[in-house]
Amino acid sequence: MADLGRGEGQKSRSKKSVSRQSRSCRICRLRKVRCDRVRPCHACCAYGHPSKCVYDIGSDDEEAQPITQAEEIRNLRNEIKELRNKINQHGGQEARTRKLAELERLFQAIRSAPIDVVDDLVGGIRADHHHVRSRAIEDELPLRMLTPSSLDGIEDKTGYSWNLVRSRQSNAGLSDSHSSSGSSSTESISVEEDWCGPLSRFTPQKPMLDLFIQRFVDAFSPEVDASSGHAGALRAGAEIRIFSPLISSAYDAVSLTYFGRSVKDPRIEAAGMQIYPKVLRSLQEALLDPERSRSESTLVTVTLLLAFESIERTSDAGVIAHVRGAAQLIKHRGPENHVHGVEHLLFTELRPYWAGVALADRKPSFMADNVWKTVPWSAGTTKKDLLDYLVDLVVEVPALLGEHDDLITAQESQILGRGELRAKQARLWNRISDLTSRFFQWKKEHVDCYPGGPVKEARIPQGPDPFPVFRCRDLRSMKIIEPPPLVYPDLRLIQTMSFYYASRLILSSIDDRPEGAISMAEKYQLACGIARSLEDYLRRAPGNMINRLAFSTRVAWEAFPSGGVERGFMAQVFNLVEKRHSLRLWGSFMPELSAYAGSNT
């Protein structure tokens, strides 16, 4: 009978393990690691391949369906709310204060602890864990927890206390990310009830920090509909920061700096600037690691620091360096790693940035390859719109710019014969002609019949917040006039048309065809189109979405004559954006974004 009972128990355990294994994602089954059945799971995120986290579970098995990371975060927040309610229900201000401090440590641990620690914490809370761990965690955490051995046999544990002692041998990555929070002294936390269990593993940060992060996210990744353009990448990155100390520290640095500049408090701004070098060091270590360089957290951090540079502009080439680095990282990761999740949003939403840096570098773009135009959308995560189809054309321009520069160099050095030079010139002209005709076809298909309606000329009421008045020349009489602003049906069309005008202007700079080349008057009108679109966008765009027009605005600035009334208007806009949105990048007139060869204007 005993053997029979053991046999049945073994069968039951075997059946349970098989069931659990079958519900794990493909990668966890292949690597034979524990899967938490979140999409994407923590193990895949830590491994750096969240896009490959796929579950082979039929739609009819609803109970076994994995939940998303957003749902998991919401569940954790709901549990934290329940814990807060327990604090409020318990009498005594002193007890509430102690429990609130304990809860803040729990929140910080969930945000930035390693995966196994988070699993233990969450599992302990959900199971209403009533015993404590007595083993000190010293090798894996910057803090180790020491518990009195005399507690093991005590049933009533309402009067014990926890001692948190900072470990001298902390994890290097976590130390870089969190060394600015808390001191190295010993803390004693009294816990009168066992509802919270062993929560504290990290030093607490100010509760206001999460509010700073939320304010930054609302500014740089506002919640908008498709007609305003997609802006959810940095918001999605903030939601997964609890899984990565690197992302968490990057958001801390950027949000503190942005809030400090917004409220003109140099102390808060300096606090963010103090964290920034540590984030850069941690990022450099990640980039040098073959596996971590492909991870989601590295891509999010590089892109996030681009926002930091637009706020602070720590150097003349800081912004373009981060855009170039992010583009190279995307290329290194490959198109198949940008199909799902945050990495898909970072690639698709900010694709004009990645195309813009190729235009500024005047070198062929990897995004001109067909796989980069198709694979990231192959799973239907998002759908292409008119801006995406425009970028499909724009990514072909950098190769033409590079070919033109090589041709000029060959002419000056006289290394090519006349026949070969004429052949290369004719081939370049044919490619320019073909791309120009495809630009016209794109405008006919996507803009001329735009579902939201046509672009109109209309005076915009100024109100208490006046906008600079754009003045330009009537090319027939050469008199200075004040054309009305261009008013668009939605923000997405403004961004798209501004990028279209800028791309056409850049292409026209190398268009010296004997026939069919764009005229000077047409170039002037393209630049005026960008300038006349700025007021409508600035008045309607939420947060700091104006950064999406930075490249186009710089292109228009360079297209206008030096010292003219047009540049006077553009200078006013640059200064207005810097003052209103706390963006030093705009106040510098953004020379690093120039796409014209040898431009120093």
pLDDT of 14 higher than 80: no
Q: Do the strands 480-481 and 472-473 form a parallel or antiparallel pair, or are they unpaired?
A: antiparallel
Domain boundary among 190, 216, 245: 190
Residue 48 scores a pLDDT above 50 = yes
pLDDT band at 217 (very low <50, low <70, confident <90, very high): very high
- Up-side HSE of residue 42: CA atoms within 13 Å toward CB? 20
Q: What is the pLDDT of residue 109?
A: 67
The pLDDT value recorded for residue 19 is 54
Count CB atoms within 10 A of the CB of residue 182.
17
What stretches of 313-417 show up as alpha helix (H) in DSSP? 318-333, 341-349, 351-361, 370-374, 386-394, 397-413
Kindly give the residue spans of alpha helices, DSSP state H, lying in 263-316.
Answer: 266-288, 296-312
Q: How far apart are CA 542 and CA 464, in angstroms?
A: 18
What letter would DSSP give residue 470? Answer: P
Q: Of 262 and 147, which is predicted with more confidence?
A: 262
Q: Cα 550 vs. chain centroid, distance in angstroms?
A: 17
**pLDDT for the residue 125:** 63
How would residue 233 be classed by pLDDT, with cut points 50, 70 and 90? very high
Asked, for residue 165, whether it belongs to a domain, the answer is: yes
For residues 593 and 309, the answer to whether their CB atoms sit within 8 Å is no
Q: Which of 30-39, 399-408, 467-476, 521-530 has the lowest mean pLDDT?
A: 30-39
Residue 566 to residue 562: CA distance in whole angstroms: 9
CB 360 within 8 A of CB 554: no
Tokens of 71: 């749902």
Residue 110, domain member (yes or no): yes
Which of 510, 303, 249, 279 has its CA nearest to residue 400? 510
Host H or E run for residue 107 = helix 93-112
How confident is the model at residue 539, as a pLDDT? 93
Region class of 483: left (phi > 0), else alpha (psi between -120 and 50), else beta = beta
Which carries the bigger pLDDT value, residue 580 or residue 62? 580
Interatomic CA distance for residues 359 and 362, integer angstroms: 5
Q: What is the mean pLDDT of residues 402-414?
A: 92
Distance from chain centroid for Cα 137: 34
> What are the CA-CA distances from residue 560 to residues 329, 497, 534, 555 (Å)?
34, 18, 15, 9
Answer for the pair 312, 257: CB distance below 8 angstroms, yes or no. yes
Give the Cα separation of 394 and 397 in Å (integer). 5
* Residue 564 to residue 590: CA distance in whole angstroms: 19
Q: What is the pLDDT of residue 378?
A: 94
464-514 pLDDT, tens per residue?
778 999 999 999 999 999 999 999 999 999 999 999 999 999 999 999 999
Whether 23 has a pLDDT exceeding 90, the answer reads no
Q: Per the domain annotation, does 552 fall within a domain?
A: yes
pLDDT tens digits along 67-118: 877 788 788 888 888 887 777 776 556 666 777 777 777 776 666 666 666 6
Exposed/middle/buried for residue 128 (C-beta within 10 Å: 0-12, 13-18, 19+): exposed
Higher pLDDT, 450 or 49: 450
Does any domain span residue 359? no
For the cut 50, the answer to whether the pLDDT of residue 15 exceeds it is: no
Q: Which domain holds residue 141?
A: 70-190
Question: How many CB atoms sit inside 10 A of residue 57's CB?
Answer: 17
The burial of 354, by beta-carbon neighbours within 10 Å (0-12 exposed, 13-18 middle, 19 or more buried), is given as: buried
Q: What percent of the chain is predicted at pLDDT more than 70?
A: 77
Higher pLDDT, 494 or 263: 494
Q: For 146, phi and psi rounded to 5 degrees?
A: -110, 130
200 CB-near residues (< 8 Å, 6+ apart): 102, 105, 106, 109, 143, 145, 162, 164, 189
Instruction: Kindly state the helix (H) or strand (E) to which residue 163 belongs, with its residue range.
Output: strand 161-166
**In contact, 496 and 386? CB cutoff 8 Å:** yes
Domain membership flag for residue 524: yes
Q: Is residue 122 over pLDDT 50?
A: yes
pLDDT in tens, 129-144: 444 333 333 333 332 3
> Is 511 within a domain?
yes
CA–CA dist 37, 25 (Å, integer): 7
Q: Last residue of some domain: 135, 156, 190?
A: 190
Helix, strand, coil % in the chain, rounded to nearest 5 = 60, 5, 35
Q: Of 146, 170, 190, which residue is a domain's last?
A: 190
- Does residue 6 have a pLDDT over 50? no
User: CB under 8 Å to 449, separation ≥6 — which residues?
Assistant: none
| HEC string for 39-71 | ECCHHHHHHCCHHHCCCCCCCCCHHHCCEEHHH
Q: Which helix (H) or strand (E) holds 133?
A: none
pLDDT at site 416: 82
143 DSSP β-pair partners: 166
Let me know if residue 65 belongs to a domain: no
CB of 275 closer than 8 Å to CB of 253: yes
List the Cα angle 94/108/236 in 5-degree steps. 135
| CA 76/CA 51 separation, integer angstroms | 23
Q: What is the pLDDT of residues 179-205, one digit of tens each?
A: 333 333 333 333 333 333 333 333 334
Phi, psi of 458 (to 5 degrees): -160, 145
| 105 falls within a domain | yes
Number of domains in the chain: 2
DSSP letter (8 states) at residue 375: G
Cβ–Cβ under 8 Å, residues 209 and 115: no
Higher pLDDT, 157 or 4: 4
Question: What mean pLDDT do residues 553-564 have?
Answer: 96
